[in-house]
Amino acid sequence: MPFVTVRGVELQYEVIGERGPWVAAVSSARFSHVDMLPLAHALAASGRRVVVHDRRNCGQSSLSFDVIGSEDEVWADDLRALLDHLGIDDVLVAGLSRGARVAAQFAARHRRVTRAAVLWGLTGGRDAFDHLDEYYFGQYLRACEDGGMDAVCAIDHFLGVLPARPENESLLHSLPPDRFVEVMSTWRHAWVDRDHVDVLGLPDALLGAIRVPVAIVPCYDRLHPIAASEHAARQIRRARLFDFDPSRRDDVRRASDDVEVVASLIEQFDSGRRRGLGRLARR
């Protein structure tokens, strides 16, 4: 797979499909691009070209601990730079869970190149906040404070990405613990207002700033409650909520179990919009 250097980091990316309108698919959590390959292949089969990539600090891409904004904002701007490198100036951006937050940031920050967005599996609610605050930030901050960078390198995400690039391990081990705590704390505080957890990481002001057509697709589990999708649909002016299976509102299956259904919804949404049939009323 090719790499490209943008904004001071090296990103690994892949293009699935040979012709058709462009889609950028953003993976969940801090997972690699592999997370979105099933969706990418399904969309390519419907006549689209799909860009997937490893975000900075994920998969095979570079580690970077520069404080230049929230993680989701940084990832959205990195994606814009990657698309610029590829000469793509018209894209539907689709994201799953954490990737949906990146897609929303992208749509708000880079609307001139965004023809539409798909937010698949928005997170929200107190249970999701408590779990994800610990998952993304709390465990690493405690590890660093208790055992320094050796402890950080030994757990969860960073344990998985260090072998991907020889320089990753030396970079992380050499990072001063107080610098790591500063950066991780900055990302944590930028992530979400603890008192407003309707849609995690996406305040109402940002959702209201999105001007492109948006498809909102639920995941139907406790971290992605339907209430989060409904709230976002009320805030985004040109949003359509695809509540495709209300009977599953208490389901606990992982979101990717619905990949074929979601690919079909994206194809219909994008094709209808491109034919001028996708004028979406506010919900």
- Is residue 172 within 8 Å of 158, Cβ to Cβ? yes
CATH architecture assignment, domain 3-124+203-274: 3-Layer(aba) Sandwich (3.40)
pLDDT of 194 > 70? The answer is yes
How does residue 282 score in pLDDT terms, banded at 50, 70 and 90? Answer: very low
Distance CA 202, CA 255 (A): 20
Write down the mean pLDDT value for the chain. 91
If you ran DSSP here, which 8-state letter would residue 245 be given? -
- Is residue 282 within 8 Å of 214, Cβ to Cβ? no
If you ran DSSP here, which 8-state letter would residue 222 be given? T
pLDDT in tens, 108-125: 999 999 999 999 999 999
Which class for 145: exposed (0-12), middle (13-18), buried (19 or more C-beta within 10 A)?
Answer: middle
Query: Would you list the domain boundaries of the chain?
Result: 3-124+203-274, 128-191
- Is residue 53 within 8 Å of 61, Cβ to Cβ? yes
pLDDT in tens, 207-263: 999 999 999 999 988 899 999 999 999 999 999 999 988 888 776 665 557 899 999
